[in-house]
Chains A and B, each alone.
Chain A
């Protein structure tokens, strides 16, 4: 608890959580990123499953959206950390928050495992007559992880 207290007492974080405008603005940016870039994750996964965007190759979908997903993800995580750090004492005992953080690290693990064999091998996937199982597994896990991440984010507000 004392660590949490120290975190949220850091000068700019304390000012941030006390500001009437800053907190909701950052939360809005966090959510706008979910909407703008969540659609990109969804379409990438659905393309890997062969369910939509079939006139585009997997390579087109994955590579053209990659920089935007990276930028969006970075902003989303930065804003999220700012929100959590400014109210560290409230978040520290919240089980939904920690579940969300575990999911976040699993998403990192997912990237480490599947980037070299799926997301960086899209030309190989496009050449294959049927979409390989590893690509479908990557897509289904990604959809599951992001959905859980989203639901946990919402449930954080419901624990007291």
Chain B
């Protein structure tokens, strides 16, 4: 609770701290989701065809991980700065469920199929499409949460 109010106060008392947290949140999101999308585009056969999806994943997975860590930490800070607002927001919990689904999916099914040597093409495409849809839904959830604050 003490930490919660300390972080909340820091963001509320400084106009720039909140803006900075938002920049980190969205910038981290762009890098995190952007790097996942590169793997998805490869799985859909839409780009980077001279390399396997597994190799693209091994190039990008550290960026994804670090970027998503930044997104989560800045997101927690933004949440703590106005908990009462988010608690009554009707979209916010939906965003959290979709985010949880997207994160679990990314580090389990998505990762496994991307690393497969010879995945059935249809499976690859299906897994990549679901990944893109999940992450785009998280973006929509974030914006709609903001519009209802």
Contacts and interface: CB of A to CB of B under 8 A. Distances in A.
Choose among B19, B35, B37, B142 the residue with the greatest number of A CB atoms under 10 Å from its CB: B37
B22 A154 contact: yes
Given A24-B144, A36-B33, A154-B26, A56 B15 contact: no
Interface residues of A, number: 32
A60 B135 contact: no
The interface residues of chain B, by DSSP majority, are classed as helix
Contact of A31 (B32, B139, B147): B139
A38 B19 contact: no
A60 B50 contact: yes
Given A60-B51, A64-B49, A154-B19, A42 B27 contact: no
Contacts of B105: none
B23 A39 contact: no
Contact of B143 (A31, A57, A61, A158): A31
A39 B22 contact: no
B136 interface: yes
A40 B38 contact: yes
A73 to B, nearest CB: 14
A57 B34 CA distance: 20
A64 B22 CA distance: 32
A4 B97 CA distance: 41
Given A39-B37, A52-B59, A150 B50 contact: no
A65 B48 contact: yes
Interface residues on B, range: 35 or more
Contacts of A155: 19
A43 B47 CA distance: 12
B2 interface: no
B107 interface: no
B73 interface: no
A53 B50 CA distance: 11
Contacts of B87: none
Interface string A37-78: 111101100000000110111001100110010000000000
Interface string B38-80: 1001000011111100011001100000000000000000000
B34 A39 contact: yes
18 contacts: A27-B143, A31-B139, A35-B30, A35-B33, A35-B135, A36-B33, A36-B37, A38-B31, A39-B33, A39-B34, A39-B36, A39-B38, A40-B34, A40-B47, A53-B48, A64-B50, A65-B47, A147-B27
- Shortest Cβ-Cβ A-B pairs, 7 listed: A39-B34, A35-B33, A64-B47, A38-B30, A28-B143, A28-B140, A60-B50
Given A24-B144, A150-B27, 13 more contacts: A23-B147, A31-B26, A32-B140, A35-B32, A35-B33, A35-B139, A36-B136, A39-B33, A39-B37, A42-B31, A42-B34, A42-B35, A68-B46
